[in-house]
Structure formats: C-alpha cells, structure tokens
Amino acid sequence: MNRISDLARHKTFVASALVALIFLFGGLRGAAAQDQVAPATKSTTATASKPSSASTGKTSTKKAGKSGAKPAAEEPVGSPNKGVGFPSAPIVMEVYSDYMCPQCRNFYMGTLKAMMNDYVPAGKVYLIHRDFPLPIAQHKYNWDAARWGTAAARIGRFEEVDRALYDNEPTWEADGNIQKIVAATLSPADFRRVQKMVAPCLSQTPPELRPTVPTGAACSLDTFIQQDIALGKQVPVQSTPTYVITNKGSRIPPGSGFVSWPLLKQFLDSLGQ
C-alpha cells in the first residue's frame, strides 16, 4: 500500500513539476516578446500623441533648460524634420515650395496657415514642407532661405522659422538679410545653433546654379535640400507650389498653383468620407 501511495505521490510531483516548467517557460517567452514589442509601441505612441516639428523642439529645449543637463548649443542635431502636426494623421500633404516664389507665399499665407490652425492641430492632416528652390536668377536668396529653414528643422524649430520666412519675405527679399528674421524668431541659444549650421553655407553658390563646382562637403544643409529636390523630381514637380496628398497610404496625383482654403478643405473633407 505504501508503495502504491509513494508512486501516486511521485506521479503528482512529476505532473506538478511539468506544469510549473511549462508556466515558467511560457512566462519567460512572454516577457521576452513584451521586451521586443515595448520600444516599438512606445515610439509609435510618442509619434502619434505628440505633434512633430516646432512643438517637439520647444519641449526638448525647455526640458534641457530646466534640468540644466546640457547647454542647448551642444545638443546633437538630427535630420531635418519639416513636418507639422501629427505624423499619424490619415492625410499627409507634402508641399514643394520655393521661399521666393510669390505663389508659394500666397498659398502659405492664404491656405496653409488656415490649415495649420484647423486641420493640422486636429490631427486630420500632417503637413510636410519640401524645399524646391527654383534655378531662377531673380530668386537670389531662395537657397539661403531654404538653408535657414532646414537648419531650424534640424533642431525642431521649423514651424516658427518657416512662418517667419514667409511672413517677412518682402523684407528679406530686398537685402537678403534672413539672419535678422531668424534671430528675431528664435531664442538666442537656438539661433546660435542654427547660425552655426548655416554659416558655412551662405557663401556658397547653390549647386543647381553652378553644377560644375563641387559642393556639399562644407555645407551639410544642401544635402538635405537636394534630397527634397530629388524627391520633387520623382513626383515630378514642374512648378511651385506643388502639393502631393496621400490619403491613408494612397497617393493622389499632384496639384500645383494656389488653391484657396475653402476648396482645399472641401477636398480634404471629401477624402475623409
């Protein structure tokens, strides 16, 4: 009888050990999988819940300022983020423009500003600025303006500088003094960071106007502008402003020229239906 009871106890022990092992193994696998998923989920949430560009820049600068961990001037700079709004928005609108093209300014002042006050903060549209400085002799400072915008985008302050460039275009168009406009827009620390990036570029002739001169080595900003131009050529952009709208991943044929906000809004609303 004893033997039988020992065997039964033994069997119970083995069975419970097996169950424990299975749970342990399953738990370990689950934890490992969660570890792998967690960073991706976190980053997705971060991009979805935080508007990109200027506001992100503001947050990081404020945090750095308060904690005093790093002075703003030494913060590393990344790729330029010229997007405004929530990257998770169902509609993405890319606008190829030249800061010295009158139509682009009209489009920005009359239409995009209204959209940035309404549909962009509401998470309906994610607006991306793409530089497309036209090789026109009269547009003397379009590359410089694009460089200031790109430098500001690299520290997350694109939206303010972009707005200032368009708002004050008649002023800097006359003398090319974009620096004054940007200095008035950014904090002194941010301005120094941007100025540091732009300084080696300002003396250079735009590569499009002088293709025989090797450029790009000293001015890293031009590389980003040329990336935008290359993207534009794929569209293909034939004039500015040209807008490319992508609705839930499906790209709509590009449009160009000025469009009033009520009509653009009507189109965006029709996409949402």
Partner 1 sequence: MSDEARAKFGRILLLVGRIALAAIFLAAAYAKLKPQGAMPWSVASVRTSLAMFAMQVDSYQLLPEEHVNFVAHTLPPFELLLGLWLLSGIGLRYSSLITTLLLGGFFSAMVRTYSKGLEVSCGCFGPGEQLGAKTLVRDGSLLALSLAVMIGAFLLRRKADDASAPASLPATQRAD
Contact footprint for partner 1 (CB under 8 A): 103, 238-240, 247, 250-260, 262-264, 266-267, 269-271, 273
Smallest distance, partner 1 to C-beta of residue 165, A: 20
Judge whether 273 and 121 are in contact, CB under 8 Å: no
Whole-angstrom distance between the N-terminal and C-terminal Cα of the chain?
78
Residue 162, CB-side half-sphere exposure with 13 Å CA sphere: 28
Angle between helices 142-154 and 188-198 (to 10 degrees): 120
Smallest distance, partner 1 to C-beta of residue 261, A: 10
Residue 82 three-state SS: coil
Provide the H-helix boundaries in 50-100: 54-67
Q: Which is nearer to partner 1, 211 or 262 (CB)?
A: 262
Q: Which is nearer to partner 1, 88 or 256 (CB)?
A: 256
Rounded distance between C-alpha atoms, residue 110 and residue 123, angstroms:
20
Smallest distance, partner 1 to C-beta of residue 99, A: 16
Smallest distance, partner 1 to C-beta of residue 235, A: 9
Smallest distance, partner 1 to C-beta of residue 101, A: 9
Q: Which is nearer to partner 1, 168 or 247 (CB)?
A: 247
Task: Specify which residues 126 forms β-bridges with.
Answer: 92
Smallest distance, partner 1 to C-beta of residue 176, A: 23
Smallest distance, partner 1 to C-beta of residue 92, A: 12
Rounded distance between C-alpha atoms, residue 151 and residue 140, angstroms:
19
Rounded distance between C-alpha atoms, residue 17 and residue 15, angstroms:
5
Q: Which is nearer to partner 1, 226 or 256 (CB)?
A: 256
Rounded distance between C-alpha atoms, residue 64 and residue 71, angstroms:
7
Q: Which residue's structure tokens are 């600068």?
A: 61
**Residues ≥6 apart with Cβ < 8 Å to 87:** 47, 48, 52, 126
Q: Which is nearer to partner 1, 154 or 265 (CB)?
A: 265
Q: Which is nearer to partner 1, 135 or 200 (CB)?
A: 135
Rounded distance between C-alpha atoms, residue 160 and residue 151, angstroms:
12
Q: Which is nearer to partner 1, 195 or 247 (CB)?
A: 247
